[in-house]
Structure 1
Amino acid sequence: MTLKELEQQLLALTPGEKVQAIKLLAQSLGGYWQGIEKTPRVCGGDARIANTRIPVWVLVEAHRLGYSDADLLKSYPTITATDLANAWGYAEAHSDEIELAIEQNQVA
C-alpha cells in the first residue's frame, strides 16, 4: 500500500475511527501501549495485560481456538473488556511478535 492510498483510506474514516487510528499511531511511535506491559523475567518478557501474568499471545491463541471475548472474560475474571481491547490492538500492531511467541510456546 502506498502512502497516497493510505491517505485516501484515512480521510474516508469516521471521526471515531480517526481517533482510534491516531491513538494507534501514537502508541506505536512511543513504544507505550495503554494497559500492556513488558517486564524482563515476568512471563518471559512477553507483552501481557498490565498488573497480571496473562500474556497477550495467550489471549490471541485462545481467540483463534474459538473462545469469544465473553469466554475469555469469564476464564480470566481479573481482566476487563478494556484489557481485551488493548490486547487486540497490541496484537494487531505487533503481529510478528505475537506469532513468534505463539510458535515458541506451542507444546509438541
Structure 2
Amino acid sequence: MSTDKTKAKSWVQTSAGVCGGEPCIRNTRHTVSGLVEWKKLGLSDDRILEHHPDLTLADLEVAWAYYASHREDIERALQDLEDI
C-alpha cells in the first residue's frame, strides 16, 4: 500500500530568486547543500525527515544523488557558507 508520501515525486531545481539560486528540493527552500551539511553533521535520513515532514525519503535520495554528481559545486557552496 502506498501513501501520498511514498508516491511523491522529487527533483532538484534552481531558481534565481530562491535561496540565492542554490539547488533546492522540489518547490521547497531546502537546499541540497543544507541537506548535505546536516548529513555531514551526523544526522540520519530518519532524523532529517522527523524534523522536516515536508521532505520525503525520495527527496533525500535525490539530494544525495545530486551531491554525488555535483560534488565540487556543493562543496564550494558549503565553503562559501563557512566563509560568511
| TM over 0.5, shorter chain | yes
- Deviation beyond 3 Å, 4+ runs, structure 1: none
Correspondent of 1:55 among 23, 31, 35: 31
| Matched AA of 1:104 | D
> Structure 1: 5+ residue runs without aligned partners?
1-33
User: In proportion to residue count, which structure has more helix?
Assistant: 1
**2:59 matched to 1:72?**
no
1:81 to 44, 57, 62: 57
Q: Does 1:42 align with 2:18?
A: yes
Q: Percent identity?
A: 37
State the distance in 2 between where 1:106 and 1:72 align: 21
Across the aligned residues of Structure 1 and Structure 2, the Cα RMSD in angstroms comes to 1.3
> TM (normalized to structure 1)?
0.66
TM-score between the two structures when normalised by the length of structure 2: 0.84
Q: Which sections of structure 2, spanning at least 5 residues, go unmatched?
A: 1-9
Relative contact order: is structure 1 or structure 2 higher (C-alpha 8 Å, sep ≥ 6)?
2
Q: Which has the larger radius of gyration?
A: 1
